[in-house]
């Protein structure tokens, strides 16, 4: 076995020197030496991303990367076919397209808890999303009971009550705008009224206008070191939204929760989330108490072919 400082193990007795690993390595740290693939130690200009491309491409199974946990693709709520799916084979586009077009944000949930095994499997699928420089610096905080979701909702409501009180203050928001801080004025124009209405409905009608009655929530954050933490989190969220649909679950991203947690860091502290982490996405989920009859259209996007 050949151990390099980049934690890529290449077994020379298995390596056939075919070069498949060299072709796919994004960091170009692999080369052939004495008829065996060899991984160069990290330098400032070329660093192993531990992306696993070399391991995935090797026809002789000569490469292992111990940091890649094979359990990440062992699921407890379904059996995965572990064979790699080549582009254009096995999964008809129309089936995936039906899933993509059928997923809708869910805002009515049955009061049934979501099994922890399903939440765990969703997170395993989330981390198969791409991440900038393969940082994989995701953190996932699961609230798996309605009472936990409600408690978070209360903290967020308290934040918005404070914010609305400030935004209602004409002098405060206009004087802030005069010195270039226009956020409060912008919030007042665009969100104040709908947030005020939602909070009144929460209080007077006991309606959960924030999490829509969801019995579970996954907060997706980043730990320090991620190069593109927000993008990574939303890509991971995308996997969760689609996979949840196949598991019979409805989902809804809750941007209001993310905004509140960004402004009031004490909210995440209450959940035991370290200060060094930042929350980028909140996915409410549960068994849907709503059905749809058809796939609808989308607005026309701006598309350019040059």
Ligand X SMILES: Cc1cc2nc3c(=O)[nH]c(=O)nc-3n(C[C@H](O)[C@H](O)[C@H](O)COP(=O)(O)O)c2cc1C
Q: Which residues bind ligand X (CB under 6 A)?
A: 104-105, 107, 252-256
- DSSP lists the bridge partners of residue 219 as 141, 282
Which lies closer to ligand X via its Cβ, residue 8 or residue 214?
Answer: 214
* Residues 50, 68 contacting (CB under 8 angstroms): yes
Which lies closer to ligand X via its Cβ, residue 138 or residue 256?
Answer: 256
Which lies closer to ligand X via its Cβ, residue 26 or residue 255?
Answer: 255
Q: Which of 86, 99, 91 is nearest to 57 (CA)?
A: 86
* Residues 41, 51 contacting (CB under 8 angstroms): no
Q: Which of 171, 201, 200 is nearest to 184 (CA)?
A: 171
Least separation, in Å, of the C-beta of 260 and ligand X?
10
The count of C-alpha atoms lying within 13 angstroms of the C-alpha of 189, restricted to the half-sphere facing its C-beta, is 8
Least separation, in Å, of the C-beta of 254 and ligand X?
4
Least separation, in Å, of the C-beta of 164 and ligand X?
16
Least separation, in Å, of the C-beta of 56 and ligand X?
31
Least separation, in Å, of the C-beta of 210 and ligand X?
7
Least separation, in Å, of the C-beta of 97 and ligand X?
14
3-state secondary structure of 21: helix
First to last CA, the chain: 50
* Residues 218, 123 contacting (CB under 8 angstroms): yes
Residue 169, Cβ density class (10 Å: 0-12 exposed, 13-18 middle, ≥19 buried):
middle
Which lies closer to ligand X via its Cβ, residue 137 or residue 253?
Answer: 253
Least separation, in Å, of the C-beta of 301 and ligand X?
13
Tokens of 211: 């999490």
Which lies closer to ligand X via its Cβ, residue 47 or residue 104?
Answer: 104
- DSSP lists the bridge partners of residue 252 as 284
The residue at minimum Cβ distance from ligand X is: 255
Question: Which residue bears the tokens 């192993």?
Answer: 48
Say which DSSP state 207 is in: -
Which lies closer to ligand X via its Cβ, residue 159 or residue 256?
Answer: 256
What's the rounded Cα separation, in Å, for the pair 17 and 32? 7
What's the rounded Cα separation, in Å, for the pair 231 and 280? 9
Which lies closer to ligand X via its Cβ, residue 37 or residue 284?
Answer: 284
Question: Which residue bears the tokens 């740290």?
Answer: 29
* Residues 260, 80 contacting (CB under 8 angstroms): no
Least separation, in Å, of the C-beta of 63 and ligand X?
38
Which lies closer to ligand X via its Cβ, residue 57 or residue 234?
Answer: 234
């Amino acid at each position: 076995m050949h151990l390099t400082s980049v934690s890529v193990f290449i077994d020379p007795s298995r390596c056939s020197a075919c070069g498949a690993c060299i072709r796919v390595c994004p960091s170009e740290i692999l080369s052939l030496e004495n008829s065996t693939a060899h991984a160069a130690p990290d330098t400032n200009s070329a660093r192993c991303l531990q992306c696993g491309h070399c391991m995935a491409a090797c026809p002789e199974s000569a490469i292992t990367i111990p940091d890649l946990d094979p359990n990440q693709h062992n699921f407890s709520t379904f059996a995965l076919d572990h064979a790699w799916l080549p582009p254009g084979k096995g999964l008809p586009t129309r089936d995936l397209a039906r899933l993509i077009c059928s997923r809708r944000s869910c805002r009515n949930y049955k009061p049934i808890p979501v099994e922890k095994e399903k939440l765990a499997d969703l997170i395993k699928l989330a981390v198969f999303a791409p991440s900038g420089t393969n940082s994989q610096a995701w953190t996932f905080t699961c609230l798996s009971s309605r009472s936990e979701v409600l408690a978070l909702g209360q903290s967020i409501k308290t934040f918005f009550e404070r914010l609305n009180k400030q935004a209602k203050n004409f002098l405060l928001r206009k004087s802030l705008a005069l010195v270039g801080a226009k956020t409060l004025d912008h919030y007042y124009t665009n969100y104040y009224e709908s947030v005020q209405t939602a909070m009144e409905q929460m209080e007077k009608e006991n309606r959960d206008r924030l999490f829509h009655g969801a019995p579970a929530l996954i907060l997706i954050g980043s730990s320090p070191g991620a190069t593109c933490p927000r993008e990574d989190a939303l890509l991971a969220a995308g996997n969760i939204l689609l996979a949840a649909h196949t598991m019979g679950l409805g989902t809804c991203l809750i941007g209001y929760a993310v905004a509140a947690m960004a402004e009031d860091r004490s909210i995440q502290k209450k959940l035991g989330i370290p200060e060094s982490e930042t929350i980028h996405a909140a996915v409410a989920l549960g068994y849907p108490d709503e059905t749809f009859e058809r796939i609808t259209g989308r607005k026309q996007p701006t598309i350019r072919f040059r």
